[in-house]
Structure 1
Amino acid sequence: MSRRIIDAHIHLDMYEEEDQIQILRELDVNDVTAIVAVSNNFASSVKQLELSKIDRRVKPAIGYHPEQALPSEIELSEILQLIDEHASYLTAIGEVGLPYYLRQKQPNVDVALYKNVLELFVRKAAKYNLPIALHAVYEDAAIVCEMLEQYSISKAQFHWFKGDDIILEQIIANGYMISVTPEVTYREKIQHLVKQVPFTQLMVETDGPWPFDHSFKDKLTHPSMMHESIHSIAKIKGVTVDEAYREIYKTTQRFFCI
């Protein structure tokens, strides 16, 4: 049985250096053929590029994470320039999106300004025909879908998606991707989501170094955890584990062109 997997979303630069080394050293033994390393800001984007040049299995994505203060004009310009300079080398634009959790803490956050920033990244994705890795949960997903449609974006990944079935139906109808974390092994809402998403639009990720509970509690978030995700997905969908591995790997490989 082929056990090959791809981590569709990981913040490799956020790990301690010794943990980065450990993860990269253990990829082969865990049948992880690639990891898509998303960025949080300019420094993060530069680091992902550096890591990808050290190890070709690291697939870099450049972006600005929305759950933080807006970037300065200078930083935003630097990130966009970095995309222009490395477009042919990039695997995706990301992580980008809208600040849902930040708004829960700071209700006065001006979402319009974050939408303007996101639109700049969507334009880059359209210009270079690159996949875009999105942080867009609950009602934000509908706003983002509208923007993606406006720019005729076909390759969009809603990572660790949370939201109601109506928005999920729109995401699926538009042909966009959903990637799920190891939470799929123990959280019913994620399991409910997986039931509805076809294999042609389903991927697995860690979002490491974000920590998880249950069997993963107090453990370093590692791409190897996705094997448990695949086993849970197979059970949820009523298919063999072999089929779940094969379909998810094929979908991820095709989406990111890796």
Structure 2
Amino acid sequence: MYELIDSHSHIDEIENTDSVIAEARKNHVMAVIAVGTSFLSNQRIMALAEIYPDYLYPALGLFPWNIADEDFQDNMNYIGENIHRAIGMGEIGLDYSKGVKERASREDQQSVFRELLATAKANNKPALIHSRYSWKDCFNITQEVEVEKAVFHWYTGPLSILNQIIESGYYISASPAAEYHEEHRAAIKAVPLERLILETDSPVTYRRGTEFEYDSRPADVVRTLYAISEIKNIDRVTAAKITLENAVRLFNL
């Protein structure tokens, strides 16, 4: 048998938390990293972590597009005041997709990202990094700030940058999209198992627009496990053991 950690869940966006966690436990999920994205989200995450101690671990963060929120500075202050109570800094990063850049310029995103990374470094917290269409800049800025611990979540970028991520001692995380997403599968195939952790990004909807569409939950990290086992041609028990050890090491669980 094996145990798993869902290293990236927006569980504050999911209703019926009790049943969601009960389902996760039945699927051998021993812990969930709950990531924040905004002022309200971070407060919810911290409250949930108190309800489910030693199971739900909070990470405080800010989505790039939430830089435009009216309570942006309140959130930055909240993160600074509470990061010592969290297991990590995330979800943070850059997003160069068109809709996000219309809300927050590259320059503003990079400025905030640097500030949050510096806070993570000062508090010895791992950074959970969102890098959509911004892989190179995310990596370079993380290096510039000299962050020691980081995971590039749901990585789909170039393998050349992936190699730099690996050489720097950082991790990437695999999501249930590993079942079908070509770029994500390529990254998982290329990364050493010792630099890989598992996640769901729940409640993200996977296989959208198909008959197999579903809204993910932390229990679906089992699907991620099955997918990476298939991609890397290793048995599930071994894959679970090593990715669990990686997550425990990264988050100091």
- Look up the match of 1:82: 78
Paired residues for 1:93-132 under 5 Å: 93-101=89-97, 103=98, 109-132=104-127
Give the one of 164, 167, 172 matched to 1:170: 164
Bigger CA drift: 78-87 or 197-206? 78-87
Residue 241 of structure 1 deviates from its aligned partner by: 1.5
Which residue does the alignment assign to 1:59? 57
Distance in 1, Cα, partners of 2:223 & 2:217? 11
The correspondence of residues 11-50 of structure 1 with structure 2, limited to 5 A, is: 11-16=10-15, 18=16, 20-50=17-47
Deviations along 1:209-230, one digit per CA (max 9) or x if unpaired, are 1111289934331222221221
Give TM-score, length-normalised by structure 2. 0.91
Confirm or deny: 8 A CA contact 1:122 1:132 kept in the other structure: yes
1:209 and 1:46 map into 2 onto residues whose CA distance is 18
The answer for the alignment partner of 1:157 in structure 2 is 151
Structure 1 residues 151, 105: CA separation in 2 closer, same or farther (over 3 Å shift)?
A: closer
CA distance, structure 1, for counterparts of residue 230 and residue 204 of structure 2: 25
Counterpart code for 2:212: K
Whether the aligned pair in 1 keeps the contact of 2:96 and 2:106 (CA below 8 Å) is no
Query: Match of 1:201?
Result: 195
Regions of 4+ moved over 4 Å: 104-109
What secondary structure is seen at the aligned counterpart in 2 of 1:87? helix
RMSD of the alignment, in Å?
2.0
1:203 counterpart SS class: strand
Equivalent-residue separation in structure 1 for 2:4 and 2:137 (angstroms): 31
Q: Partner of 1:251 in structure 2?
A: 246
Aligned to 1:213: 207
Contact conserved, 1:67 with 1:100, CA < 8 A, in 2?
Answer: no
| In structure 1, distance between residues paired with 2:104 and 2:218 | 34
In the alignment, the residues of structure 1 paired with residue 46 and residue 142 of structure 2 have an alpha-carbon distance, to the nearest angstrom, of 26
Q: Deviations over 1:57-90 (max 9, x none)?
A: 1111111101345244xx3332233233323320
Q: For the Cα contact (< 8 Å) 2:65–2:100, is it kept in 1?
A: no
Displacement of 1:25 in angstroms is: 2.2
Equivalent pairs, count: 251
Q: In the superposition, relative to structure 1, how do residues 144 and 188 fare at CA in structure 2: closer, same or farther (>3 Å)? A: closer
Query: Where does structure 2 lack aligned partners over 5 or more consecutive residues?
Result: none
Q: C-alpha displacement at 1:40, in angstroms?
A: 1.3
Contact 2:60-2:83 within 8 A present in 1 as well: no
Identity %: 27
Normalised to the residue count of structure 1, the TM-score between the two structures is 0.90
Q: Indicate conservation of the 8 Å contact 2:10/2:203, yes or no.
A: yes
The answer for unaligned runs of 5 or more in structure 1 is none
Q: Contact (CA 8 Å) 2:65, 2:104: kept in 1 or not?
A: no
Give the equivalent residue in structure 2 for 1:9.
Answer: 8
* Corresponding residue for residue 237 of structure 2: 242
CA distance in 2, matches of 1:166, 1:233: 20
Quote the Cα distance in structure 2 between the aligned partners of 1:152 and 1:216.
Answer: 45
Report the secondary structure of 1:100's partner residue. Answer: coil
In 2, are the aligned partners of 1:40 and 1:65 still within 8 Å (CA)? yes
1:6 partner SS: strand
